[in-house]
Amino acid sequence: MDLQALKNRFSIIGNTPSLNHALNTAEQVAATDLTVLIVGESGVGKEVFSQIIHSLSARKHNPFIAVNCGAIPEGTIDSELFGHEKGSFTGAVDSRKGYFETVNGGTIFLDEIGEMPLGTQARLLRVLETGEFIRVGSSKVQKTDVRVIAATNRELMEFTQKGKFREDLYYRLNTVPIRVPSLRDRKEDIPLLFRKFVVDFAEKYKTKPIFLDEEARSLLTSYTWPGNVRELKNIAEQISVLSTTDHINATILAEFLPTASKHNMPMVTGAPVGEFANEREILYKLFFDMKKDVNELKKMFFEILQNPSLAGQTGNFTRESMINELKEDMVPANTINNVIPAPINNTPALPQVQYNSQQPLIIDNDLQGHYEVEESLNIVDKEKELILKALKKHRGRRKDASTDLGISERTLYRKIKEYDIEE
Mean pLDDT of 231-248: 93
Q: Which residues of 252-272 are buried (b: 16+ CB within 10 A; e: fewer)?
A: bbeeebbbbbeeeebeeeeee
> Residues 273, 253: one domain?
no
Q: CB 180: neighbour CB atoms within 10 A?
A: 23
> Residues 8, 95: one domain?
yes
> Residues 31, 168: one domain?
yes
**Beta carbons within 8 Å of 259's beta carbon, 6+ residues apart:** 267, 277, 281
Pairing of strands 132-134, 141-143: antiparallel
Residue 263: inside a domain, yes or no? no
> Residues 132, 148: one domain?
yes
> Residues 277, 177: one domain?
no
Whether residue 387 has pLDDT greater than 60: yes
By three-state DSSP, how is residue 349 classified? coil
pLDDT tens-digit readout, 205-223: 998 999 999 999 999 999 9
Top-confidence residue, 191 or 300: 191
**Given this model, what pLDDT does residue 260 score?**
41
Taking the C-alpha atoms of residue 92 and residue 318, their distance in angstroms, rounded to an integer, is 68
> Residues 198, 166: one domain?
no
* Domain C-terminal end among 350, 371, 392: 371
pLDDT tens-digit readout, 410-419: 788 888 888 8
Residue 295: inside a domain, yes or no? yes
Top-confidence residue, 314 or 107: 107
Quick one: 38 exposed, middle or buried, by C-beta within 10 A (0-12, 13-18, 19+)? buried
> Residues 238, 359: one domain?
no
pLDDT tier, 347 (very low <50, low <70, confident <90, very high otherwise):
very low
> Residues 65, 177: one domain?
yes
| 157 within 8 A of 143, measured Cβ to Cβ | no
Give the HSE-up count for residue 327: Cα atoms under 13 Å, Cβ half-sphere: 20
Mean pLDDT of 224-231: 94
| 261 within 8 A of 281, measured Cβ to Cβ | no
Top-confidence residue, 277 or 392: 392
* Number of domains observed in the structure of the chain: 4
> Residues 142, 92: one domain?
yes
- For every residue of 256-297, DSSP letters joined together read HS-HHHHHTS----S--GGG-SSHHHHHHHHHHHHHHHHHHH
Domain housing 353:
269-371
Taking the C-alpha atoms of residue 383 and residue 418, their distance in angstroms, rounded to an integer, is 11
CATH number at residue 385: 1.10.10
pLDDT tens-digit readout, 27-71: 999 999 999 999 999 999 999 999 999 999 999 999 999 999 999
Residues facing 132 on adjacent strands: 143
Residue 96: inside a domain, yes or no? yes
> Residues 27, 117: one domain?
yes
- For every residue of 173-217, DSSP letters joined together read HTTEEEEPPPGGG-GGGHHHHHHHHHHHHHHHHT-PPPEE-HHHH
Q: Which secondary structure element, helix H or strand E, spans residue 147, and what is its range?
A: strand 147-152
pLDDT tier, 269 (very low <50, low <70, confident <90, very high otherwise):
very low
pLDDT tier, 242 (very low <50, low <70, confident <90, very high otherwise):
very high
Residue 307: inside a domain, yes or no? yes
CATH number at residue 246: 1.10.8.60
Residue 332: inside a domain, yes or no? yes
Taking the C-alpha atoms of residue 319 and residue 328, their distance in angstroms, rounded to an integer, is 15
Taking the C-alpha atoms of residue 54 and residue 63, their distance in angstroms, rounded to an integer, is 9
pLDDT tier, 348 (very low <50, low <70, confident <90, very high otherwise):
very low
Residue 264: inside a domain, yes or no? no
Handedness of CA 404, 407, 409, 411 (dihedral sign): negative
The pLDDT mean for the chain works out to 81
E-state strands within 232-389: 247-248
Taking the C-alpha atoms of residue 403 and residue 413, their distance in angstroms, rounded to an integer, is 13
* Domain C-terminal end among 135, 158, 181: 181
CATH number at residue 50: 3.40.50.300
DSSP conformation class of 223: S
> Residues 171, 191: one domain?
no
> Residues 42, 127: one domain?
yes
**Given this model, what pLDDT does residue 423 score?**
66
pLDDT tier, 93 (very low <50, low <70, confident <90, very high otherwise):
confident
Q: Which residues of 320-339 are buried (b: 16+ CB within 10 A; e: fewer)?
A: eebbeebbeebbeeebbeee
Tell me which residue of 101, 107, 83 sits closest to 30, measured CA to CA. 107
pLDDT tens-digit readout, 104-121: 999 999 999 999 999 999
Mean pLDDT of 365-394: 67
pLDDT tens-digit readout, 7-27: 999 999 999 999 999 999 999
pLDDT tier, 421 (very low <50, low <70, confident <90, very high otherwise):
confident
Residue 122: inside a domain, yes or no? yes
pLDDT tier, 297 (very low <50, low <70, confident <90, very high otherwise):
confident
E-state strands within 17-131: 36-39, 64-68, 107-111
**Given this model, what pLDDT does residue 183 score?**
94
* Domain C-terminal end among 134, 162, 181: 181
pLDDT tier, 376 (very low <50, low <70, confident <90, very high otherwise):
low
Residue 262: inside a domain, yes or no? no
